[in-house]
A and B are shown apart, each in its own frame.
Chain A
Amino acid sequence: EVQLLDSGGDLVQSGGSLRLSCAASGFTFSSYAMSWVRQAPGKGLEWVSAISGSAASTHYADSVKGRFTISRDNSKNTLYLQMNSLRAEDTAIYYCAKASSGSYGWFDPWGQGTLVTVSS
Chain B
Amino acid sequence: AIRVTQSPSSLSASVGDRVTITCRASQGVTNDLGWYQQKPGEAPKLLIYAASSLQSGVPSRFSGSGSATDFTLTISSLQPEDFATYYCLQYYNYPYTFGQGTKLEIK
Query: How distant is the Cα of A107 from the Cα of B101 in the complex, in angstroms?
Result: 16
Q: Is the interface of B mostly helix, strand, loop or mixed?
A: loop
Main secondary structure of the interface of A (DSSP, over half): strand
B98 adjacent to A59 (CB under 8 Å): no
With A105-B91, A106-B91, A108-B46 in contact, is A47–B98 under 8 Å at CB? yes
| Chain A residues within CB distance 8 Å of chain B | 35, 44-47, 50, 59-62, 95, 99-100, 104-113
Does B94 contact A107, Cβ atoms closer than 8 Å?
no
- Count A/B pairs, Cβ under 8 Å: 57
Instruction: State the Cβ distance, B93 to closest chain A Cβ, in Å.
Output: 8
Residues of chain B lying within 8 A (CB to CB) of residue A47: 89, 95-98
Render B35-61 as a binary contact track against A, CB cut-off 8 A, 1 for contact.
010100001111001100001000000
Q: Which residues of B contact A (CB under 8 A)?
A: 1, 34, 36, 38, 43-46, 49-50, 55, 87, 89, 91, 94-101
Q: A44-B100, A112-B43 are in contact. Are A107 and B34 (CB under 8 A)?
A: yes
Which residues does chain A contribute within 8 Å of B46, judged by CB atoms? 106-109
